[in-house]
Amino acid sequence: MKRAAAIAAVVVVVALSVGAAAALRRDSSSSTLPTSVVAKTTFVDFLQLRGEIRPVRSVVLTAPSTGSDLQIVELAANGSKVAAGDPVITFDPTVQQRTLETKRSELKQAEAEIDRTEAEQRRRVAAARTELDEARKALARARLELQGNELRARLEAEKFVIAAGDADANVRELEQKIEGEQIAAQADVAIARQKRDKALFDVQETERILASLQVRAPAPGSISLLPNFRAGGPGRPAPEFRRGDRAWFGAQIAELPDLTAVQMTAHVDEADRGRVQAGSAVRIRVDAVPDHELTGTLSDIAVVAKPDFTTWPPVRNFDVVVKISDSDPRLRSGMSASARVELDRLNGVLVVPTAAIFQSGPATVAYVVGPRGAERRAVNVLRRGRDQTAIASGLAEGDRVALRDPEREGGAK
C-alpha cells in the first residue's frame, strides 16, 4: 500500500511538472511574439512612389548652334544664385574669333571692290562722253560745210554729204555706248554690292554666334546643372556638366527653375496602374526636407507605358505628375522625394496591420494573443492594403493580434 501511494505521488508530481513546463513554454512563446491591437479607425490604403521635385515652369539654357565644336570654359556652380543678365555658361570663342577676323577682312575687300568698280565705271563713262563731245563737234562742222554745196561740184558736194552722215551716225553710236556703259556700270556695282552685303551678313552672323557663346540668365534664380548624357555609360548615371566638357548643338546644360510653383514627377509600375486615379490625394516627403510633409494631388497619368532600362530585364511604367498644393523655400529642383498616393479610404472599421493576417489553407486567419497563448481565429477581410487590412468579422476592438505566425513559434492552440 505504501509503495503504491508513493508511485501515485511521483506520477502526480511529474504530470504537474510537465503541465507547468508546457504552460511556461506557451507563455514564454506568446510573450516573445510581436503584437498589435485591433483598433476601430479609418482604413487608408496607399501606394508608395519615388520621384523628384520639378518646377512647373523653368527656363532651360542650351548650347547654341554654331557649326563648330563647343567646349565649356566657364560654368556657374550648381545651386548658385544669379541675377538677370549674369553669365551662366561660356564656351571657347577662339574659333569664332578667328572666323570673325577673316569675315571682317573679306568685308573690307568687298567695300574696296565697290569703290574700285565705281571709279572704273566713272572713268569709262567720262571717256565715252569726251569722245561723244568730239563727235558732236565734228557733226556740227560737217553740217556747216554742207551749206556751201550749191556752189560746189556735184561729186565734191556728195563727199560733204557723206561726211555729215558719218558724223551723225558716230554721234548716235557714241550716245548708245554711253548708255551701255552706264548700264554695265550699274550691273558691276550691283554685283560688288551683293558681295559686300554677303560679307556684311557673314560678319553680323559671326558676331551673333560669338555673342551666343556666352549664355546669360534671362531671369533671377538658382542654377540647376543638368546631366551630360554623353559622359555617362551603361550601369552608371550621367554626371552633371562641368568645365572642360564638350557640348553638342542644342544640348540642355543648365536649368533656371521658377520655384514658386513645384510638382513631383514619378513612375507607376504597370501592375499598379489600375489602382491609381487622377485626383487622388497624395502626401509627399522630400528627403532633404524631412521635417515638412507636403500635400498634393495626382494631376496627370501618362497614357502610354515606357520601358525603364535602369533595371534588367527592363520593366514598363507610366509617368505621373503630382501637383503640390503647398511649398517650402528650401525646395530645389531635382530633390528626391517619396509620395503616398491614397487609393482607398473607409471610416470607422476594424483595422489591423497586414502582417497580422495569415492564410491557412483556404481560410484567412489571425492569432489573438491572450493569457493562455495565441488563439487562431478565422476572419473575413473587408479590404486589404499594403500596410493595413480592414476586418469585416472575426475580431473585436481591443484584441491583441500576433504579427508573426505563432504555429511556427510553437505557441498556437
**What angle is formed at CA 272 by the lines to CA 267 and CA 277, rounded to 5 degrees?**
80
- The whole-angstrom separation of Cα 183 and Cα 180 is 5
- The whole-angstrom separation of Cα 331 and Cα 262 is 9
- The whole-angstrom separation of Cα 239 and Cα 232 is 6
pTM of the model: 0.52
Neighbours of 362 (CB within 10 A): 5
What count of residues does the chain have?
A: 413
pLDDT tens for 174-185 read 777 777 777 777
- The whole-angstrom separation of Cα 272 and Cα 324 is 22
Cell of 10: 511521483
Q: Residue 123: what pLDDT?
A: 81
Tell me the one-letter amino acid at 291.
D
Tell me the one-letter amino acid at 123.
R
Q: Residue 185: what pLDDT?
A: 76
Q: Residue 362: what pLDDT?
A: 87
- The whole-angstrom separation of Cα 393 and Cα 352 is 12
Residues of the chain with pLDDT under 50: 12-14, 18, 20-30, 151
Cis peptide bond upstream of 313, omega within 30: yes
Distances (CA, A) of 351 to 46, 370, 399: 14, 19, 11
226, 240 contact by CB (below 8 A): yes
- The whole-angstrom separation of Cα 326 and Cα 297 is 11
Residue 411 CB partners (closer than 8 Å, separation 6+): 25, 26, 29, 30, 33, 373, 374
Q: Residue 297: what pLDDT?
A: 92
- The whole-angstrom separation of Cα 35 and Cα 258 is 48
Q: Residue 28: what pLDDT?
A: 46
Cell of 46: 496607399
